[in-house]
Structure formats: C-alpha cells, structure tokens
Amino acid sequence: MKAHLTRRYMFSASHRLHSAAMSEAENAATYGKCNNPYGHGHNYSLEITVSGLVDESTGMVCNLVDLDGFVQREILQRFDLENLNTRAEFLQTVPTTENLCTAIYDILQRGFTHAHLDKVRIEETMMNSFEYAGAGEIGR
C-alpha cells in the first residue's frame, strides 16, 4: 500500500531580495524592507514529503536514515547558517522562498532515489509558507 511520509527540518539563513533586472527604485518598491543591502535572516521550516509503497519487510516508505542523511549533506550543509545570495543556486535568481522551494525540490529530485518526491513546503515565518510539487499536484 502507498503512504506519504513528511519530515520536517529547520535551518537558518540570511538573504536579500534584490533583482538585477530592476532599477534601485523598482527594487525598493518591490521588495521593501527585504531590499535592505545588508540582508536579514529567517528560521526556515522545511517539510519534505515523499511517497511509495510500504516495504513489507521494513514497514517503511523509505529509511529515515537515508532521507536525513541526504538532506543533511545536500541541503542543510548548503543553506544552514549561510547567506543565500552567495550560494550557487541564487547567483542568477532572487532568493525568495518561492525560488528556495524550487531549488530544494530540484536538489531532491536529482539526487534522492529512495522514494518518490511528492513536494517541498517551506515556512519562511509562521505567517507564510510555500509549496512546490514540480509537475505534480499540491494536496489531495
């Protein structure tokens, strides 16, 4: 039978929202306080949902050791306690949480092979959250 497993991770990072495609005035108008040249930070809550048939021998969709190891190595080490603007993923794009969501989805989609990736959900603050499922549908 098919089950969907969601695991939550926390990381902290700073960023500045600034688009090279906009003038200074346009950046200020678009991003407001988030355009402060020195940046600011968040405690991000990252939820990763994977799915698959429950293995009869282990009772698991995938071993959490594999998921935790991959996320630690490929995502948390890359973003936790870093300035997102300096990371390779955001040299060309603005590190909004929308773009962070799709970047993390792409890392998982490329490298995590132990279960099907359903979606990535990120809370930037308690007041806003973002979800991305690639070509899939959000929710059910």
Partner 1 sequence: MVYLTRKAEFAASHYYHNPDLTPDENRRIFGKCNNPNGHGHNYTLEVTVKGEVDPRSGFVVDLKQLKEVLNREVLDAMDHRFLNKEVPEFSTRIPTTENLAIAIWQRLLSKLNKAQLHRVRVYETPDLFVDFYGEA
| Count of residues that interact with partner 1, criterion CB under 8 A | 20
Please work out, in degrees rounded to the nearest 5, the angle formed at the alpha carbon of residue 79 by the alpha carbons of 15 and 98: 60
Is residue 109 involved in binding partner 1 (CB under 8 A)? no
Nearer to partner 1, 44 or 90 (CB): 44
Is residue 2 involved in binding partner 1 (CB under 8 A)? yes
Rounded to a whole number of angstroms, the minimum distance from the CB of residue 11 to partner 1 is: 13
Is residue 59 involved in binding partner 1 (CB under 8 A)? yes
Rounded to a whole number of angstroms, the minimum distance from the CB of residue 120 to partner 1 is: 15
- Cα–Cα distance list, 44 to 12, 24, 61, 64 (Å): 6, 27, 25, 21
For 47, residues 6+ apart whose C-beta sits below 8 A from its C-beta are 6, 7, 8, 9, 120, 121, 122, 123
**Interacting residue with partner 1 among 22, 60, 76, 133 (CB under 8 A):** 60
Q: State the residues that interact with partner 1 by CB under 8 A.
A: 1-9, 49, 54, 57-61, 63-65, 140
